[in-house]
Amino acid sequence: MPDNRDPMRYDIAFGLDAEYVPHLAATIASILRHIPESQLRFLILHAGVPVERRLTLQRVAPQALFVWIEVSSTDVPTYPERLHVKHVNRATLFRLGLEKLAPADTKRVLYLDSDVIVLRDPRELWSLDLGGSPIAAVADPDVDPNMFKQRWRLPECKLEYFNAGVLFVDLERVRAERLFAVAIDFVAREQPWLSDQDGLNYALWGRWHPLQVTWNVLRRVALDAAGDARSHLREAVRNPAIVHYSGSQKPWLPDGYHPWAWLYWQSLSRTPFRDEVVREYGISRLQRLRLWLRWLRRRPAGEIAQRERRHRKLLSACNSTCSNDRNTA
């Protein structure tokens, strides 16, 4: 796995509109805990994000390279009116534009939704052997793969249906086979219920590389894993690499519920957008305190271990300094 001395550049892509800029800032702030800014290039597929908002976002990672890619109405299909819900809109389709709109030198890219928090160094994904698969993803427990297969008359395969919120993409292969174009055509023609995610699963049916659940811990997994007999799900919740605030229960909403909502606020506090989000959604200090207490009760084991390692390191440094002071005296 590349370390901090590795000159390799890591491309990480997002798709969003102006409303999601503060939440993307929290995601980026969480990434910076693991990868030096100078090694990052953020590819942001967007529609109508004002220049001022872009510049404010870039202050979160001033040494990183930001590439802003405007997505036009001809690049991805119009989002079906019947599917409009508060937490989902046309911007969810923008990931399908990577094939056509990403810089020509982009070979491998990590696509993330803007409602995730990264808790582990994602650079290890770049050394992953995809075995010829165009993408790597995590299976989605909320979708029945058999029903999807039957609905669209797809062949039998051992792989399930994947969630599109975290995708590691071999963009060279995707471009060579125009796979995202197939997904776009499917969405435009069929207008499936889960839109771009259904389109990607249709285009890549049986051709994706499964990632461990830890790389995309969905809300349902976070809530249900404690009573699940499958050890890999319990371990994913104990040590998540990426927490995904999937569904309508967003951590910035006053009536939303997620056991680790505090992780979002923790990352947001390292951006220029915290006060804006507090005002926009009416989140009181008492509500944030409750989120923090809830997180203390259910926080991932990996976060606890990381905190303990930091404490031991600080204690060791303090003891060393005190020892040197005594020897000097």
pLDDT tens readout for residues 246-288: 888 899 998 878 888 999 999 999 999 999 999 999 998 888 8
In one-letter notation, the amino acid at residue 43 is L
Q: Is the pTM of this model over 0.75?
A: yes
Sequential DSSP letters for 278-327: HHHHT--HHHHHHHHHHHHHH--HHHHHHHHHHHHHHHHHHHHHHHHHHH
pLDDT tens readout for residues 8-21: 899 999 999 999 99
Contacts of 240 (CB under 8 A, 6+ apart): 119, 120, 214, 217, 222, 300, 302
- Burial bucket for residue 8 (CB in 10 Å: 0-12, 13-18, 19+): exposed
Q: What pLDDT, on the 0 to 100 scale, is given for residue 318?
A: 55
Is 295 in contact with 262 (CB distance < 8 Å)?
Answer: yes
Mean per-residue pLDDT of the chain: 86
Q: Identify any residues that bridge with 162 across adjacent strands, giving them in sequence order.
A: 139
Q: Which residue has the higher pLDDT, 228 or 137?
A: 137
- Which band of pLDDT confidence, cut at 50, 70 and 90, is reported for residue 305? very low
Contacts of 45 (CB under 8 A, 6+ apart): 13, 14, 15, 16, 69, 71, 94, 95, 97, 98, 101
Domain ranges in the chain?
1-298, 302-329
Q: What pLDDT, on the 0 to 100 scale, is given for residue 60?
A: 98
Q: Which of 204-213, 228-237, 290-299 has the lowest mean pLDDT?
A: 228-237
DSSP state of 156: P
Q: Classify domain 1-298 at the CATH class level.
A: alpha beta
- Which band of pLDDT confidence, cut at 50, 70 and 90, is reported for residue 38? very high
2 has pLDDT over 50: no
In one-letter notation, the amino acid at residue 166 is V
Strands 108-112 and 162-170 come out as antiparallel
Q: Identify any residues that bridge with 70 across adjacent strands, giving them in sequence order.
A: 46
pLDDT tens readout for residues 150-194: 999 999 999 999 999 999 999 999 999 999 999 999 998 888 888
- Burial bucket for residue 249 (CB in 10 Å: 0-12, 13-18, 19+): middle
